[in-house]
Structure 1
Amino acid sequence: MKCLNCGNQITNNLKIKEIFLFKEIIPDYICNLCRSQLAPLSGRNNCPRCFKANANGICSDCRMWEEKYQVINCHQALFEYNQFIHSYFKLYKRYGDVLMAKLFFQDIKSWSQRNHFDVVTYIPASKSHLQARGFDPVYELYADIFDLKQLLTKVDADKPQAQKNRLERLSTPQTFCALPELNQIQKNQSILILDDIYTTGRTLMHAHDIFFRANFKKIYTFSLSR
């Protein structure tokens, strides 16, 4: 198997328990050289609410969400946003290389096996972005791992989040609406909302608000990068 990012050969060294205990073998699509350029967030002094790296306690963003919007963040992420992640999303989203959706399959799958939720949904692409790319990047990133339910629609914003500065991101108005399928979900079920990148948290907080106003209490969020 070759790395989806650089094309180098991937060597999967199976563990004894995977061979003799018939444990599920999760395929890897990223080579060791590319993986060495990642900055995993696990085991670091992250913000306990949003996984911001090296926060040494609750970060200022999460304190702002609590004070201004009465939201206690429950977010997890796998990797710190760095140059490798930036280049990955440039290939995947800007240039539309949909095959890159599987690059982090092993990492996301492993996380999903350790964390369980009743309902898993995601941040959908707006109609214009879907037409421009031909695929929904967040959906494709997680579709082979989770049983995804589309519960939200997103209207087109004035400009993409990637083109906004921090202040513009934080002041972005609500862009989500609930789909009728949301009414079929029991209010006591746990909800996981998936996104690709957590920057200020504004997008996920808008999505969170839709579920909160619908009287869901157990709302969690996750992203590949933070």
Structure 2
Amino acid sequence: MNDPCQDCIKWQHYFKKPFANRALFEYNDAMRAYMKQYKFLGDYRLRNVFNRLIVSELKAMRCPIVVIPVNESTLQERGFNQVLGLCEGIQPVNCLRTRQGKKESRQSEKNRSQRLNADQPFELIDHESELIRQKTIVVVDDVYTTGTTIRHAAGLLYRAGARCVKGFTLAR
């Protein structure tokens, strides 16, 4: 196992459960341009750029996969969940959904402080929790920025009985 990064060390004070994230790539200018075209401009064909690699990595983990959900208004606007697109070919456990209520601004529009102080955006779909109890779960997201989103999901999964939760992202 690799030594934790500085971000993970900082998080240990706030997030008491074991958690580590593995990112495949650095979030650099090229990845920023890719995400803009894929996620924000809606070029769904771009999911194929990383799909085979992501699916191969996730299958090798041999764990239930939970994909970070998008809220209903984002799904309507964009037409797809970008993380599900990247994971096409994997059957995720559908145990999280975004909380109903007022639409918050997009994560990409928030600064670091706003992201770190964000309220829990997810809720557990109770009838699916049996699929995660006492298992190691991998939570998948597209980009790890502050770690807040993926840890919100991990916290719920731990509360639902997951033995261990790990993060997996395309970029960080």
Give how far 1:192 is off. Answer: 1.1
- 2:69 aligned residue (119, 124, 135): 124
| Unmatched runs of 5 consecutive residues or more in structure 1 | 1-46, 49-56
The answer to whether the Cα contact below 8 Å between 2:150 and 2:167 also exists between their aligned partners in 1 is yes
CA distance in 2, matches of 1:222, 1:186: 17
CA distance in 1, matches of 2:121, 2:145: 17
- 1:141 aligned residue (86, 90, 113): 86
In structure 1, the partner of 2:106 is 160
Residues 1:171 and 2:114 are matched in the alignment: no
| Unmatched runs of 5 consecutive residues or more in structure 2 | none
In structure 2, the partner of 1:84 is 30
Length, aligned pairs only: 170
**Structure 1 or 2: more helix by fraction:** 2
**Root-mean-square deviation (CA), in Å?**
1.8
CA distance in 2, matches of 1:58, 1:218: 16
**Residue by residue, what CA displacement relative to the aligned partner does 1:18-65 show, whole Å, maximum 9, x if unpaired?**
xxxxxxxxxxxxxxxxxxxxxxxxxxxxx94xxxxxxxx533321222
Identity of paired residues, percent?
A: 31
- Look up the SS of the partner of 2:45 in the other structure: helix
CA distance in 1, matches of 2:21, 2:97: 21
Give how far 1:203 is off. Answer: 0.1
Question: Larger radius of gyration, structure 1 or 2?
Answer: 1
CA distance in 2, matches of 1:190, 1:70: 17
Output aligned runs, 1:1-226, within 5 Å: 48=2, 57-117=3-63, 119-144=64-89, 146-155=90-99, 157-185=103-131, 187-226=133-172
- Look up the SS of the partner of 2:85 in the other structure: helix
CA gap 1:206/1:140 in 2 versus in 1, 3 angstroms: same
CA distance in 1, matches of 2:26, 2:93: 27
Give how far 1:193 is off. Answer: 0.9
CA distance in 1, matches of 2:134, 2:49: 34
CA distance in 2, matches of 1:74, 1:133: 29
- Structure-2-length-normalised TM-score: 0.90
CA distance in 2, matches of 1:108, 1:218: 20
CA distance in 1, matches of 2:119, 2:143: 18
**Structure 1 or 2: more strand by fraction:** 2
- Look up the SS of the partner of 2:12 in the other structure: helix
Q: Which has the higher contact order (CA 8 A, sep 6+)?
A: 2
The answer to whether the Cα contact below 8 Å between 2:48 and 2:86 also exists between their aligned partners in 1 is yes
The answer to whether the Cα contact below 8 Å between 1:65 and 1:71 also exists between their aligned partners in 2 is no
CA gap 1:122/1:113 in 2 versus in 1, 3 angstroms: closer
